[in-house]
Amino acid sequence: MTQQHPLDAMLHLQPQADGSFVAHTHAGYANMVGPYGGATAALLLHSVLQHPDCLGEPLSLTVNFAGPVGDGAMHIVPRAVRTNRTTQHWVVELRQTDAQTGVQVVATTASVVTAVRRETFSAEAIDAPTVPPAADCPRFDVRRAMTWLQRYDWRIVSGGLPTVWDDSPHPTQSRLWIRDEPARPLDFASLAALCDVFFPRIWLRRARIVPVGTVSLTIYFHADRAQLAAQGSAHVLAQADAQALRNGFFDQTAQVWDTQGHLLATSHQIVYYKE
């Protein structure tokens, strides 16, 4: 018997009688507190994609991290609010039962748009950066890092974490090659999880570690299933940057390209920071 990949174990959903699902946080994707946000994003997307009513493939995903997700059981409630001929709009809630009050609270909300896509005029409006191949880039050592970091194979191209935390101003852009660890063929769920891997831009900018937490994350999927299948389990090229860091919140823009230099997804998030 082959062992299940941690991502697939994390994505496991138990159907409930009312059409909702129960899931459990997975120790392999543990963050400082609760699960890695990218894992939660992937799980909420997956709850829609595996739904028997789901139309087409994902086009956009917005995840609002409303409160902390505690380790343990999660109640996932996907709901199709509108089905058109070629697009479908979903809202999803992640609820957990408050241990103290016994009341169910909303920890995360998401909206997902899926679409049946057809071939049209297509063009890339930005070029993938020219970088050395993954094999020539230094591997980021995750052996003593938080658990979820160990679920990825990181090859840093540029803009890695500062080597000295001295409060000196640094550029906010990072580029890296990344894939699941162990290797796993790319699909929409793993691509969604990948879009959240970047270190907080403010740690880079300031060469200083401050508490942070993603508030809202949006991903636009440009790839279809065929492009993901062609990529297989090879490293994807990921780039992140910031535009503004202002009074407790910074934004992050990100791009993910396949090995051929075609965009797989673009992503944005707004992140809380302290101090």
Q: Cβ 68 to its own copies, closest distance in Å?
A: 10
| Choice between 177 and 257, CB closer to its own copies | 257
**Separation between Cα atoms, residue 103 and residue 268, nearest integer Å:** 32
Here the tokens at position 71 are 């380790």
* Minimum distance from residue 131 beta carbon to its own copies (Å): 18
In one-letter notation, the amino acid at residue 116 is V
- Other Cβ atoms less than 10 A from the Cβ of 143: the count is 6
3-state secondary structure of 188: helix
Nearest to 264 by CA among 192, 184, 211: 192
Nearer to its own copies, 97 or 111 (CB): 111
Least distance CB 5 / its own copies (angstroms)? 28
Q: How far is the CB of 61 from its own copies (least distance, A)?
A: 9
- Taking alpha carbons only, the member of 162, 179, 163 closest to residue 234 is 179
> Would you say 87 or 97 has its CB closer to its own copies?
87
- Torsional sign, CA 4, 108, 111, 148: negative
- Measured from the CB atom, is 57 or 181 closer to its own copies? 57
Cα(73)–Cα(248) distance, rounded to whole angstroms? 31
Shortest reach from residue 186's CB to its own copies, in Å: 17
SS3 222: coil
Pick the closer one to its own copies by CB: 43 or 149. Answer: 43
How many Cα neighbours within 13 Å face the side chain of 195?
33
Nearer to its own copies, 141 or 275 (CB): 275
- Least distance in Å: CB of 106 to its own copies? 5
Q: Within its chain, how far is the Cα of 91 from the centroid? A: 17
Q: Which is nearer to its own copies, 11 or 242 (CB)?
A: 242
Which tokens sit at 174? Answer: 């990072």
Q: How far is the CB of 139 from its own copies (least distance, A)?
A: 27
Binding residues (CB under 8 A) for its own copies: these are 59-60, 62, 64, 66-67, 81-82, 84, 87, 89, 91, 93, 105-107, 109, 111, 113, 115, 117-126, 169, 172, 201-202, 205-206, 215-216, 218, 220, 222, 224, 241-251, 253, 255, 263, 266, 268, 270, 272-275
Cβ contact 217:37 at 8 Å? yes
Q: Which of 27, 26, 25 is nearest to 76 (CA)?
A: 25
